[in-house]
Chain A
């Protein structure tokens, strides 16, 4: 497989990989490193690419595992993921979010969710994957995914209502 063929194959989901990594690792730089790492891994194992039924789902699984490993090693190294990490490099998107307080609040709420719920919200509400695709990526039953997602959505909503009422009163 040539590099150009490979790139054509992976380009459609490189942004998704990046966003999922960023959701989990919080910092943009970490997410960029993770994305590079992932595609390098895929490129090195290009011979086995035809074996995967759904390369995108496989890439997501690898991304998830990689990010979990990173998080674990960070905790082991006593490096906490703090919000200052997130602010270190401002992308246009983050600036836009800052202008809208309520929207940035959503970001914070999602940040506070348990790791798995965060990931499922990302995959469903932002990347808009079907449940059977998420099932394949995370190796979790659809029913369990729905339960997690429902919990996450309700939590976000409750937090937003709290915020909303606070703003009004």
Chain B
């Protein structure tokens, strides 16, 4: 390519007025080994651009990593729910047991009271019965004498 043309393009290039096509012309020119000596300083610039374009992303794209995090959260919430349910269940059970125990104690007390009173009543009745028998024997003994 004509040197004059390259010089013109370079000036446009520095003013950022070149099109992609024109820039490619420049690239191609500087790929050559025989570059005009006064344009030598441009060569590393264009070879740097060329080399930079070869740098590539070597890893695989990981699209599932966040899902791992999400599932971990899900599992944690499930575990939390379980713990909540279990503790609520045991709490309710305990409460029921406590209530049952209380009811049992109250009934026992009541029954105790009843049996105590009954015993007392029995005693009194027995005493009275004894008295009656005693009197009776007195009465029925005397006429025979």
Contact = CB atoms under 8 A, between A and B. Distances in A.
A128 B20 contact: yes
Nearest to B54: A93
A124 B65 CA distance: 33
A15 B44 contact: no
Contacts of B1: none
Contact of A40 (B14, B43, B58, B66): B66
User: For B20, B43, B45, which residue has the most chain A Cβ atoms within 10 angstroms?
Assistant: B45
B1 to A, nearest CB: 20
Contacts of A150: 14-16
A78 interface: no
A153 B42 CA distance: 11
B62 A40 contact: yes
Pick the most buried of B40, B42, B44, B59: most chain A CB atoms within 10 A of its CB. B44
A160 B45 contact: yes
B145 interface: no
Contacts of A157: 14, 41-42, 45
B interface: dominant SS = helix
Contact of A147 (B16, B56, B62): B16
B28 to A, nearest CB: 14
Interface residues of A, number: 46
Interface stretch (A53-61, A80-88, A98-106): A98-106
B140 interface: no
B49 A156 contact: no
Contact of B51 (A97, A149, A161): A97
A161 B14 contact: no
A19 B52 contact: yes
Q: Which 5 residue pairs of A and B lie closest in terms of their CB atoms, listed nearest first? A: A102-B44, A18-B57, A106-B48, A150-B16, A149-B16
Given A126-B49, A161-B41, 14 more contacts: A15-B55, A18-B55, A18-B56, A19-B55, A36-B59, A93-B52, A102-B44, A105-B44, A106-B45, A124-B16, A127-B53, A128-B20, A146-B15, A157-B14
